[in-house]
Amino acid sequence: MKRRISFVLVLVLALAVPVQAQTIKWVDFGVPYESLKYAMEQDIATFEQEKHIGWIDILALAACRSGGKCGLTSVKKATDDLKGDKSAEELLGTTWKYYSYYHQAYSAALGGLLGSYEIQVAGQWKQQYGLKAFSPIGAGYGYSHCSDFGVGRSFGFQRKHLGNDLMGGLGTPIVAVEGGVIEAMGWNRYGGWRIGIRSFDSKRYYYYAHLQKDHPFAQGLAVGDTVQAGDLIGFMGRTGYSDKENVNNIETVHLHFGMELIFDESQKECNSEIWIDVYDIVRLLSSHRSSVQKTAEGWKRVYPYRDLDVEEFP
């Protein structure tokens, strides 16, 4: 009898201990541009309403129903359903078990792109809620790009392309998509002159590569510095594919832009890094571009910016 009571006690204690969620090991991000745009617009439209419908909530619900495809029809239905009285758990039933994964994954990929910010226009600070991240290409500069994630690369070794190439003119200003801390800066045999910036929540590592020969970076930047979204960080070029520094071995002038998701620090530099396809994210960001200009004193930002979701900017 005592043995049975002991067994029951151990079982009750085991059930009472919360199970630690496993760290996400892979994210197959495939949310189309049209779905991103619609979900974002619904988030912005309901921001000041009694029931604010967050875009990540919309996308996570749609992903559970569509296996991560998030077509526009499923995203519209998810939006309408969330405007009702039922919770996501009630709406999903047995597929609720997948919701946490998609919500974490999409929060990591999109968490710093939408929110509250201020810009200074004519000496006045104007507060806004909306797309607060910027296209990596400065305002007024043309570029083209296509979906090229996963395409084969052969320099050094056979591997897949883990970013999006944006073709433009030599010296095109490159800006920080999101604010964060510079973690890497200098020469890399594959990326040439490159800069890596970690978002303030540490979930996203932005990689900007093949910067301009002789003058790759914005003046005064160094590893450990903080930058705000839209700050000038460098200039487009075609450096890389060389062990020797400052060499143009890339045929076409372009920016390689990549985003790595990090759920645990052990994932940052390993054989199972999580790089996602950012093509549709770049399309979304094209509507929000930062204006920078060259003056007698050097390059300057036209409209100063503050991210209001960062409580205390480092």
Encode pLDDT of 34-57 as tens digits.
999 999 999 999 999 999 999 999
Position 115 scores a pLDDT of 97
* pLDDT given for residue 270 in this prediction: 84
Nearest to 135 by CA among 255, 289, 260: 289
* Tokens 């519209």 found at: 76
Q: Which of these ranges, 231-235, 236-240, 267-271, has the smallest mean pLDDT?
A: 267-271
Average pLDDT over residues 279-294: 97
Q: Which residue has the higher pLDDT, 111 or 311?
A: 111
pLDDT mean across residues, the chain: 91
What percent of the chain stands above pLDDT 90? 82
Looking at residue 150, its pLDDT comes to 77
Instruction: Tell me which amino acid residue 258 is.
Output: G
Domain boundaries, the chain: 26-110, 134-307
Residue-wise pLDDT tens digits, 290-310: 999 999 989 999 999 999 998
Q: Given pLDDT bands bounded at 50, 70 and 90, which one contains residue 9?
A: very low
Q: Check residue 4 and give its pLDDT.
A: 45
* pLDDT at res. 291: 97
pLDDT at 2: 41
Distance CA 112, CA 185 (A): 22
Closest alpha carbon to 65 in 42, 88, 92: 92
pLDDT at 16: 35
195-205 burial, b for 16+ CB within 10 Å, e for fewer?
Answer: bbbbbbeebbb
Amino acid present at 297:
E
- What's the mean pLDDT in 281-296? 96
Could you tell me which CATH class the domain 134-307 is placed in?
Answer: mainly beta
21 confidence band (pLDDT: 50, 70, 90): low
Residue 280 pLDDT exceeds 60: yes
Q: Is 235's pLDDT higher than 50?
A: yes
Q: How far, in whole angstroms, is CA 219 from its chain's centroid?
A: 25
pLDDT in the model for residue 159: 61
pLDDT digits (tens, 9 = 90+) for 127-182: 999 999 999 999 999 999 998 887 866 565 556 878 999 999 999 999 999 999 99
For residue 123, is pLDDT > 70?
A: yes
d(CA 212, CA 238): 6
Biggest CA pair distance of the chain: 88
Question: Which candidate, 256, 236, 267, places its Cα nearest to that of 153?
Answer: 256
pLDDT of 149 reads: 80
